[in-house]
Structure 1
Amino acid sequence: MFNLITIGDALIDTHVQIDDATLECDINHEHCHLCLDYASKIPITGSFQSLGGNGANVACGASKLGLKTVILSSVGNDSNGKLVEEELTKFKVNTSLISIDKTAQTRYSVVLNFRGERTILSYHQKRQYVWPDNIPATDWIYYTGMSEGFEKIQTKLINHLRKHPTIRSAFNPGSYQLKQSLELVQEMIAHTNLLIINLEEAEKILNTTLAKEKTPVALIHKLLALGAEEVVITDASRGAWAGDSDSVWHINSFPVEVKAKTGAGDAFSSGYLAARFNKLSLEEALVWGIANSSSVIVKVGSQNGLLDKAGIKKMINKYSKIKPKAV
């Protein structure tokens, strides 16, 4: 029996720190472009490789917070695939549901870190994901970013949830899923207990904008209408909102010095999910999510700042003046 199954890609991130670049932004600084000299050799100030991917990141974060976790994913028959499994094992994540796809390489990405923000060059290749014949019992399933081939897995997942109504489901659609089929994303939302997305993703799913809807609260109500029981919207430095049919809460971000944002959303998800698993309230879960993500963004790498339960409590005590408020 597991507490959590994460379903999503696991990959290798190559982090590159660059200083010799410029930003070009619109007048409101809402849309910016990272600019490098074309046909030039750009110096970097550091680089390293680490485990990445939404499914892997959340699995590691949840495991560190005490949840017995297994990941359902796919890697290639290559050195990166072996490295993925080794890194997951370090976090005590069970890897028995990882299948080896001999037709595809293990996914990888290049993460360009500049002025505390990241630009990700992400490689997606069609994968032969495998749904196991005997999927283990679990309390929660967290379904997140996958590559081409996710469609069959999603159908299997929905059927599994129908057959096992006591399983709680969380959904955080990945960039490829959002780009390829909003219809399938909305189909999954209808079978979701907990939807966790950022503001940009919320706007895309609903085909609207925050400016048009006026408040994140309005976005949450529209997402609840799609079938989710509980919705969380994160918005970087502006914090996060969480709501259900009874109430909506907001929490500000903790005032930490940001070094890199890679993995922040996944750290929030694992913190929030662990709190809900431990029967904490929606507003308490917001605090856990913000605490975990705040710890990750002060370091470079998706797992380097992940907290255990003691670390969560310490971070919350440090920023005890920041509390969730009903909105």
Structure 2
Amino acid sequence: MFKHDVLCVGSATVDHFITTEQPLSSIKAGDKARVVSEELHTGGAATNTAACFSLLGLKTKILAKLGDDHEADFVKKDLQKYKIKNICKHHSRHHTDTGTIISSLKEKDRIILVHKGASTDLNEHDFKRSQLKARWIYLGSLVDKSFKVAVAVADYAQRKNINLAFNPSSYMAKKGGKALHKILQATSVMILNKEEAQSLLEKKTDSFKVLLQGIHKFGPKTVVITDGRKKFYALHEEKIYEMIPPPVKRVNTAGAGDCFASSLVAGMIKRYPFTEALKLAQANASSLIQYVGTKNGLLREKEAVVYMKKLKIKVKII
């Protein structure tokens, strides 16, 4: 028996969301642009996905290293709302990770500035191996010195027959498939965007079939590749699935990838048919992007199912 359904491993951040009326493309070096709104929220792959899993009814814990600072206190307080425990035993001498997301009311593009601090300092002395135990492990991005922990967690999952979901960032994907092979061999479900897939395979092809099958050969049983507002594709049990995200009002897309990935895995944990798990993931992500912040638009399971039907999301096998 497992005490937790999911362990989410990755970063925990404090994100500043800044909105300006001026188009970002018109702002030049030396300009002064007026800010119309500023909000502060928690973020990072570990906390974003854990909040999503928790609201979808799964008991969740995280492994994420924080600094010994006000930002860490802000993250801890937010995690309490979702009843999420952090199994990391130590604080980092570095500051808690932060991000700044700059967007415009007149353009849909955004600028994201990321400061990697405490998350790069995670090491194997920060947790007990026994605390990694869960029905599933969700592995987000870990870079620099903490990359060794990502490999160790994947090895643990493989040895203990624990399902591993892997959602790499562009930082990890750029290492290439050979550098990530130990993680990929242990992966049950891999979710990434098109650019990350191209980086991982070191191929510029636009063929999703080539990208899906190329990543599948490295080990992941199920592979899902997203492409923003465009069609996304999935390879699952030798079938390729296609879906177009439904049109919804897009306010801010930060955290949409984490939401989609964790909602998909939640659907699989709850034994939804794969097509329904995809729809659940898209419905939750479609809700999230209508709000500022990486958690504000997250839905509970019943809400997500209702919204999924309302959006009339269609998935087909090609």
TM-score greater than 0.5 by the shorter chain: yes
Q: Equivalent residue for 1:279? A: 271
Asked if 2 retains the 8 angstrom alpha-carbon contact of 1:116 and 1:261, the reply is no
Among 134, 137, 146, the residue aligned to 1:138: 134
Q: 1:61-86 CA deviation, whole Å, 9 max, x = no partner?
A: 01100010000010000010111111
What stretches of structure 1 move > 6 A for 4+ residues in a row?
none
Q: Distance in 1 between matches of 2:233 and 2:246?
A: 14
Q: Equivalent residue for 1:110? A: 100
Deviation (angstroms), 1:151: 2.4
Q: 1:259-310 CA deviation, whole Å, 9 max, x = no partner?
A: 1110111110121011000111221111011101000011111001001111
Deviation (angstroms), 1:99: 3.6
The total of aligned residue pairs comes to 310
Q: How does 1:47-86 map to 2 (within 5 A)?
A: 47-86=38-77
Deviation (angstroms), 1:189: 1.1
Q: Equivalent residue for 1:29? A: none
Give the TM-score taking structure 1 as reference length. Answer: 0.90
Asked if 2 retains the 8 angstrom alpha-carbon contact of 1:186 and 1:205, the reply is no
Among 163, 172, 190, the residue aligned to 1:168: 163
Asked if 2 retains the 8 angstrom alpha-carbon contact of 1:53 and 1:145, the reply is no
Percent of residue pairs identical: 26
Among 1, 18, 21, the residue aligned to 2:20: 18
Q: Distance in 2 between matches of 1:103 and 1:181?
A: 30
Unmatched segments (≥5 aa) in structure 1: 24-34
Q: Equivalent residue for 1:32? A: none
Q: Equivalent residue for 2:181? A: 186
Give the TM-score taking structure 2 as reference length. Answer: 0.92
Asked if 2 retains the 8 angstrom alpha-carbon contact of 1:243 and 1:282, the reply is no
Q: Does 1:250 align with 2:248?
A: no
Unmatched segments (≥5 aa) in structure 2: none
Q: Distance in 2 between matches of 1:136 and 1:193?
A: 17
Q: Distance in 2 between matches of 1:146 and 1:36?
A: 33
In structure 2, the CA distance between the partners of 1:224 and 1:182, relative to structure 1 (3 Å rule), is: closer
Q: Equivalent residue for 2:317? A: 326
Q: Distance in 1 between matches of 2:247 and 2:55?
A: 24
In structure 2, the CA distance between the partners of 1:128 and 1:317, relative to structure 1 (3 Å rule), is: closer
Q: 1:186-219 CA deviation, whole Å, 9 max, x = no partner?
A: 33112100000011111111111233xxx31221
Q: Equivalent residue for 1:153? A: 149
Q: Distance in 1 between matches of 2:304 and 2:166?
A: 23
Q: Distance in 2 between matches of 1:288 and 1:319?
A: 11
| Aligned AA (1:108) | T
In structure 2, the CA distance between the partners of 1:229 and 1:249, relative to structure 1 (3 Å rule), is: same
Q: Does 1:40 align with 2:19?
A: no
SS where residue 16 of structure 2 aligns? strand
Asked if 1 retains the 8 angstrom alpha-carbon contact of 2:139 and 2:167, the reply is yes
Q: Does 1:196 align with 2:191?
A: yes
Asked if 2 retains the 8 angstrom alpha-carbon contact of 1:239 and 1:290, the reply is no
Q: 1:29-61 CA deviation, whole Å, 9 max, x = no partner?
A: xxxxxx522122221110111010011100100
Q: Distance in 2 between matches of 1:193 and 1:234?
A: 17
Asked if 1 retains the 8 angstrom alpha-carbon contact of 2:89 and 2:127, the reply is no
Q: Distance in 2 between matches of 1:155 and 1:224?
A: 18
Q: Equivalent residue for 2:300? A: 308
Deviation (angstroms), 1:252: 1.0
In structure 2, the CA distance between the partners of 1:192 and 1:250, relative to structure 1 (3 Å rule), is: same
In structure 2, the CA distance between the partners of 1:43 and 1:186, relative to structure 1 (3 Å rule), is: farther
RMSD: 1.7
Q: 1:198-256 CA deviation, whole Å, 9 max, x = no partner?
A: 11111111111233xxx312211111111110001111111421112420111110110
